[in-house]
Structure 1
Amino acid sequence: MSVVSVAISTCLTVLLEGFTFRTPLFFPAILLSTWFGGTGPGLLSVLLSVLSINFFLLEPKFKFGFGIHDIPHTISFLLGALLISWWSAARKRAEAALRDREEQLRKARDELEAKVAERTADLAQTNEQLRKEIGDRKRAEEQLRRAEAQARKVIDAIPQQIWSGPADGSLDYCNDQWRAYMGLGQEEIQGDGWQSMLHPDDRDRVLKAWRESVVNGTPYEQEERHRAADGTYRWFLCRGVPLRDGEGRIERWYGTNTDIEDRKRAEEALREQANLLNLTHDTIFVRNMNDAITYWNRGAEELYGWSRGQALGKISHELMQTVFPAPFEQIQAELLSTGRWEGELVHAKADGIQVVVASRWSLQRDEKGRPIAILETNNDMTRQKRAEEA
């Protein structure tokens, strides 16, 4: 490029020698060579221009001869070439920096687009998973609502009064059986509203026992009288147990009320009968279906040596170390079948001496025919047995 541009400049200068100066047309050649080719081609064009001027334009022509007259245009050419070279280099550096910046921006844009695409994919996946979880949760909640509704139906259909409440001891649910008995709505019995149906004579005892169970987290069990919708009172055995979480904290209380009015009346009748039986010297006591002694007359105190206070609540067969003539299960089955049993038993008294008694058992049932107690009458026949053996 340097050779061509200088050659063109030389030709034009020679042709226009009479109309222009010698050097101006060489500047474009030097500038173009330096601008497009760089410092090397620029210096080459300076050298070729000086040589062309010296050989073709200065006297004597067509002969090289360097002198002081070559210095001005040589310096001008060099300065122009160096200026254009510096300017070209600066431009190239700027262009290179611009290209680097554009490359960095392109890479940053590509990375950002990749990250945006990746993040968009993650968000889409997350959104899809979230929609699925929301759908699963809604289905689970719907299933739970259906299960709770079904459970409520089952609980309401059970012929038993059922209740529940939070850990603070208030109530927030009573099933249909209890609400129908009290004649109250769900809202009326929530919180402490249920306490209004307690018998005045039982209220303080019941509430004290309930508060102790709630504070201590222990099961609740009390016999208490509840007012019915018609204003009458019936006896109920009320039990409550706490439901705890994995860390042992109470979440809720659940309980039942069992109608024991018939049993209480039967027990009262037995007590009245027992008071009459206290007038006899026969040995008579009453035990419940768990064989715990509930009544102990004077005749039993005289024969066995245990006072009423010592005997009540004890298991009769353990207290007296009873020796049965047949397996106890067989005797119990006959009692439940016929309502009566008779036979000879061997009992140990409080002092350890054994006595032989003629024992008669009678089964007591409530109004619904359920067995509730056993009346046992024992006559001491120890002397008679010894006489027979003698």
Structure 2
Amino acid sequence: MAQPDKKWLGTSIDIDGCRQTKEALRERERELSQLIDMVPGQLWRLTPDGEPTFFNRQMVDFLGLGVGDTDRPGMSRLDAFVQAVVHPDDAAKMADALDHCLVTGEDFSMRHRLRRADGVYRWMLCRAEPMRDEGGRIVQWYGLCHDIDDQMRAEEALRRSEGKLRELIDALPVHIWSWTPKGKLSYVNKRCLTYLGLSEANFEDLAGVVQELVHPEDASEAQRTAANCIKTGDVFRMRYRRRRRDGVYRWSEGRCEPLRDQDGKIVQWYGVTVDIDDAVRAQEELRHARENLARASQAASLAELSASIAHEVSQPLTAVITSSNVCQRWLTAEPPNIERALKTLERIARAANAAADVVGRVRALFRQSVETRDPMALASLVAEARDLMAEEAARRRVRIDIEVENELPPVVVDRIQVQQVLINLVRNGLEAMESAASDRVLRMCVRRLGGVVRTEISDRGPGIEFPDRIFEPFFTTKGHGMGMGLAICRSIVESHGGQLWAENNEPHGATFIFALPVDATMAPLSQGGPDSVGRPSDAERSL
């Protein structure tokens, strides 16, 4: 029987797709490995029990060792790793933190120092999170260490710099503070807090407390000034009284300026306050001393002048009286001796002329000179007078407001004499409001009216009791006054071709008005009457 032919059976399976898939997978793994090694951080992996199983290339290069290099007999890899590369001051704390995370499954986060391959320790921020399976069981720990040593050193340098700056600020003999752009108190230095008897513990309530520390008579003005500066961006500058920790109010000067960004927007306000109470009191004492000296000098000068006038005038007056008696005897004689009486009358005339010459010489002493007069803007003189009296106004808690009409023509005046008039009238206005409880405002208004420039100085005091007599020499309503100030003022104004008068305001206060001609060549305005200088006529007042 013949044997059947043997046959070979075979199959062919297409594995090209599988091979390509594996090749692609290997390529992905290679790219992932390169990516992990190129990440600018130190990546590592732990088993659920905490054994290191992977360090990326960045970490190996930094530490100078790999996972296998952490093997130590009788010690886990994790403990060996911590002991080998973690700073001794941080090792125990890091080990405890890792053990806690491995037990609880909580995320790990810690700053510590790692030893670089060259032996230098650098600060690291290390974080690790667990990867879990579908049942929630931890299968791996993945961590990242980021080098923050430069940041830590910069922060430390910044803290040292801030500490030195704070020490400097607290050591300066001034009180330093700051506001937010909206005016909220944001900082007060230690010296200021100590001065006021406050602490930083309740800083949120400090802003309200500081407002309460300002003297009640200055608080509203300080708030109004600060609010205006916050609104307009103007520099804050003011003198006010603050309550010290012992309850005593002392004069202080506060100044605050805004800090702006490149666009001009205010980002912060910085201010200083200086205790000037001793200086203010010294200035007050000096002012009193000057006033006393001025009054004594005036009294002495007046007494000397009076004695001189009396001495000069008494001789011709004595001659007049004596000659008059002699003339009377010659005329009453029987018969009357006319010839002798006429000679006596001649002597009387000579003596009277001598007395007139004495009076003329005295008047010449006070005659105003026109040689020192120059054309100038009256508005600038008003501003100078306001500046000169600003300190006294602040001391008396009076605000001086100025209103000047635009494009005023110049007037030809003696600058010193007109400034003397302005200062005298301003001082009278300040003194008139000494007893005013509120609304202490002195208003100075300069405007043109016809051919004159008219200046008005208005106060809110009690008004003028004797408006028709206040310009008389030696008439005064002040207990310490000599009654010469307004008389001299009127004399100066009239010597400039102007006129000075006063009016009572409604419901209270007074206004002193003086008008000076624009044209210096015009005749004295007193010759033309009050209407020529802008003073209302009787007909105008009736309207």
Q: TM-score, normalised by structure 1?
A: 0.48
Structure number with the bigger relative contact order (C-alpha 8 A, sep ≥ 6) is 1
Q: TM-score, normalised by structure 2?
A: 0.35
Greater gyration radius: 1
Choose between structure 1 and 2: higher helix proportion: 1
